[in-house]
Structure formats: C-alpha cells, structure tokens
Chain A
Amino acid sequence: MAVTTADRRARACASLLRHVRAITDKEGITPSALHALKLKLVALANRTELFPLSDFAMPVAQGRNHPLLVEENDGYGLYLTINMPGKEAAPHDHGIWCVNAAISGRERHIFYRRTDNAAVAGRAEVIQVGEVIVAPGNGMAMADHDVHATEVVGSEPAIGLALYGYALARFPAVVWYHPAFGSTRASPSRRHAA
C-alpha cells in the first residue's frame, strides 16, 4: 500500500516525541533542554511537505489548533497551529513549558516579567523583557512560568508547530496579564476535566 503524507507526518511526529523524551528524561526541563527541543521542532517544521494546508482545516474564526500527536499518560502534546492576521493573545503564563516553530507566516512573541509582589488579588504589573519573531527557520522556547504575548505579523496566516508539556485538553490554569488595566485573571485549569 502506498505511503501517504499523513503516514510520513505521523512517523515524523512520533520520531520527534521519542527524541524529545530522550532529551527531557536525561536532562529534565532545563534551558539547554528547551533549546534542544526547539531545534528539533524547527527541523520538523522545515519539512513543509509533511504539512500541506489541504490536510488541515482553516479556522472558522481566526485561530485553530490541530492535534498531531498527544502522548498517553498525561504526556506531551504536539499541535499544528493556524492563526490568521490580527489574531493575538495577551501576556499569559501557561503554567507549563512550550516550544514553537514556524512552518509559514510570522508571529511575534513578546516576553514579559511580573514585577509586583502579588499582594492584591486580581492586580499585577508586568514589563516587557524581550521579543522574537517566529518565522520559517526559527522558533522559540519558554519555561513553565514564562510569560509571553503573541500576535500574527503581516498579511499571511501564521502556521506553525507547538509542543507543550501537557496536552491542551489537560492544561493547568492559564494566568493572563493586562498591562493596560494593571490586572491579572486566570482561566480555569483543565487538569481535572479531561
């Protein structure tokens, strides 16, 4: 039987997660391990022939995630993400590490640091500490409680790969920061729902 693109993609994703497991089992989630994961993910994203858009529905609105491979036993989750021009996300902390790599299009990731002492519920101050444009050939990595905001840059959809320490369906609470309001809010954990 002929080997399809979906077969090749599935094999490549499984191979990636084996390499990822080998790295994290040996090193844990360290800055150097996350850098290594980013390089692995960028290498996979560079194989654009594995990710034809015809295999992935476009968003009904402006943003959609397609699961590529989700490990059993509360393991890692690998997704293809499609975000349309104008799509954005306020500064947020996933509570879990993540690595991104671009297939096509450009997405700006702006990194923040919280500067208040969390003394007042619902209030927070963050300052911008860095920025990277994730475009074909590169990516970005974040540790468990790093804070980033995203926005699609330009007129093309930003299509990429995202690898998380948990499946999206089992995410911890995501903490959002709003510099314009001086506020912070959390969307509920899905750890008990899935």
Chain B
Amino acid sequence: MARAAKTYKVTIQNKATAIDCGASQTVLEAAIAAGIDYPYACATGNCGTCISKLEAGKISLLPRGDAALSPEQAKAGQTLACRARPRSDLAITWLGRGRR
C-alpha cells in the first residue's frame, strides 16, 4: 500500500493562519494553494522577494542564487519561502511585499 506523503503544519504569522504543507512542497507553493497572497516574484530562489523569518521549525532549502539569501541573512534565521521545504511543523513570517 502506498504510504501517504508526510504533511506538516505551517503557521503563516502575517495571517495568523496555519496551512498544510507536504514534505515535497515549498512553503510558497502551499501558501498559494491555500489562497494566501504570499509575496513572491521568481519563486526559484533568484530574487529574494519571498524573504521570510523562520520563527520555529526545521526546513531544507532547494538550490538558490547567492544574491537571493546572504549568509548573514541565513544566520539571522531568514529564509526563502520559495525554496523552503518543511522538515517539521513551522512558523514563518514574510518580511517583504512583492508587486504584480
């Protein structure tokens, strides 16, 4: 029998809302699927528009450009929602606001 994909709870602090995020989904993908207007532009780790503060929990990061997330930002607990996959339940706050 196929095992159900692991799902985590991700709390988007800006919206005070918790959403489900699969282990193979990014936080941004899950937020968009849940109808949350999360800020983003490239969605592939190049521009930094979705820069966010990881308040709690563990993530793994997909490949990204150096300019999108500096080592100092990462050290300060910041991450890219478009590259972050949950490895535990998370709490996250977006820091910027993209434009359409």
Chain A residues near B (Cβ < 8 Å): 59-65, 84-90, 92, 121-122, 174, 176, 178, 181, 183-188
A178 touches B43 (CB 8 A): yes
* Residues of chain B within 8 A of A122, CB atoms compared: 100
Summarize A's interface: helix, strand, loop or mixed: strand
In-complex Cβ contact of B32 among A84, A87, A181, A187 (8 A): A181
* Nearest CB on B from A103, distance (A): 18
Could you name 14 residue pairs across A and B whose Cβ atoms are closer than 8 Å?
A: A59-B65, A59-B66, A61-B63, A61-B66, A62-B63, A63-B45, A65-B67, A86-B63, A87-B45, A88-B44, A88-B63, A122-B100, A174-B41, A185-B98
CB of B62 within 8 A of chain A?
yes
* Residues of chain B within 8 A of A188, CB atoms compared: 99
Q: How far is the CA of A60 from the CA of B63 in the complex (A)?
A: 11
In-complex Cβ contact of A86 among B46, B62, B67, B69 (8 A): B62
* Residues of chain A within 8 A of B71, CB atoms compared: 60
Chain B residues near A (Cβ < 8 Å): 32, 40-47, 49, 61-69, 71, 98-100
In the complex, besides A62-B64, A63-B65, 10 extra interface pairs with C-beta distance below 8 angstroms are A59-B66, A61-B68, A63-B64, A85-B63, A86-B62, A89-B46, A174-B41, A174-B42, A185-B98, A187-B41
Q: How far is the CA of A14 from the CA of B61 in the complex (A)?
A: 38
* Nearest CB on B from A167, distance (A): 14
In-complex Cβ contact of A186 among B41, B44, B64, B65 (8 A): B41
* Nearest CB on A from B75, distance (A): 12
Q: How far is the CA of A31 from the CA of B48 in the complex (A)?
A: 32
Q: Which residue of B lies closest to A188 (CB)?
A: B99
B99 touches A186 (CB 8 A): yes
Q: How far is the CA of A43 from the CA of B49 in the complex (A)?
A: 36
* Nearest CB on B from A182, distance (A): 10
B64 touches A61 (CB 8 A): yes
* Residues of chain A within 8 A of B98, CB atoms compared: 185-187
B41 touches A121 (CB 8 A): no
